[in-house]
Amino acid sequence: MLLSRPSLAFIFLLFTSQPGFSAFYLDREIEYIDVDLDEVGNRFTRTITFSFMSVCNVDLFNCLGREHSYQFGLSLNNEGENNTVSLFPPPAPVLDHGELNSYVASARYTNRGADIPIVAGSWSETFELNEQQGVWYEASLNLNLKEGRLKNLAPGEYQSIYLVGRDIGFVGGEIYNLWETMEIRIRRADNRKVKISKLKDVDLTEYNNSQSRAEEMPFCIHVTDGDQYVLRANGSNDDFKNKFNLINGSERVVYKMDFSPDNSGWQADIRPGDSLYGTGSAMENCGNAFNAWLRIYLDGAPANSGTYSDTVTLTVSAV
């Protein structure tokens, strides 16, 4: 019957979202939970700290500062997002319960004293916050997980569940319904452990100003099964032109590093965060030997004499 009415303006308002901008944000798309089932037993807990923010500034509704209610829920499906405000908003997702109870025993949302249970496959009770548009609110999701079908996962495989956050706005009735989804991957640990050892401090002088005059630092990378690893190096001062820097007050001097996993073939002039691959030793101390090398040298001379320094962090992961 509504479509037979002659008012085009009414039809426009009924079926078209309004000018402006609206959104409900979660601060990430994916979160990982790594679980060693041999250590945690049948039941275990994990806490995820995250942030969310809602923005609603729509010409017709001017919903800035209006009353907001929030809800969270868990689903087995990716419920996507909705950031459209209209007189007749789309309904909230029907959260897929499925076999969620095979993985999740219970869940709770906590924020600023609030402690709200989340039943798998259902929306939580609504709650309100002191309304500040465009402000990130920090919250926690406390998950009580159980082995369930996680035991069927191969090492390194994961089961996804989805946290869905929802902002419901009211002005005399529901006028918008915004939501976004974060994937939570519960990943079974592969029990491969890695370790770096035999690192040391390296002193450079003006003599060490070329690759042929580099200082070498051999060290040991252990992987439990003697398989491949990926190594990354980051300096505490490497935020300048994506290079390694020694600093003395406001003065800088660039230095370079080369990497070799076998002391023969070298990857020259590595950059902060580069992925460096090699094969680890199955022996924790590399059989009293070394299996990885860095050579370090200056790329120019400092403008003034003094003590210049940097701290390099090496991070290794099994591949």
CB burial readout 39-61, b (16+ within 10 A) else e: ebeeebebebebebbbbbbbeeb
pLDDT at 2: 27
Helix, coil or strand: residue 201: coil
pLDDT at 65: 44
pLDDT at 140: 92
The CATH architecture assigned to 194-318 reads Sandwich (2.60)
Q: Are 278 and 318 in contact (CB under 8 A)?
A: no
Strand ranges, E, within the chain? 20-26, 30-35, 43-58, 68-75, 104-111, 114-118, 137-146, 158-170, 174-188, 194-197, 215-223, 228-235, 244-248, 251-260, 276-279, 292-298, 312-318
* Pairing mode of beta strands 174-188, 30-35: parallel
Burial (CB count <10 Å: 0-12, 13-18, 19+), residue 211: middle
pLDDT at 131: 59
For residue 32, how many other CB atoms are within 10 A of its CB? Answer: 12
Residue 24 pLDDT level (bands cut at 50, 70, 90): confident
Of 115, 138, 126, residue with least CA distance to 170:
126
Structural fold of domain 18-188: Immunoglobulin-like (2.60.40)
* Residue 281 DSSP class: B
Confidence check: pLDDT of 28 > 90: no
Question: Whole-angstrom distance between the N-terminal and C-terminal Cα of the chain?
Answer: 63
Residue 171 pLDDT level (bands cut at 50, 70, 90): very low
Q: What is the mean pLDDT of residues 191-197?
A: 85
Q: Which residue has the higher pLDDT, 188 or 279?
A: 279
**Average pLDDT, whole number, for the chain?**
82
pLDDT in tens, 279-306: 999 999 999 999 999 999 999 888 888 9
- The DSSP-derived string for 125-188 is PPB-----TT--EEEEEEEEEE-GGGGGSPTT-EEEEEEEEEEEEESSSEEEEEEEEEEEEEEE
65: left (phi over 0), alpha (psi -120 to 50) or beta: left
Residue 67 pLDDT level (bands cut at 50, 70, 90): low
φ/ψ of residue 125, rounded to 5: -65, 155
pLDDT in tens, 217-251: 999 999 988 888 999 998 888 666 788 999 999 89
> Is pTM beyond 0.85 here?
no
Confidence check: pLDDT of 261 > 60: yes
Adjacency order of strands within the sheet including 158-170: 30-35, 174-188, 158-170, 68-75
Cα(20)–Cα(125) distance, integer angstroms: 29
Q: What is the mean pLDDT of residues 64-74?
A: 73
Going from N- to C-terminal start, the domains of the chain cover: 18-188, 194-318
Confidence check: pLDDT of 136 > 90: no
Q: What is the mean pLDDT of residues 204-210?
A: 89
Q: Are 259 and 229 in contact (CB under 8 A)?
A: no
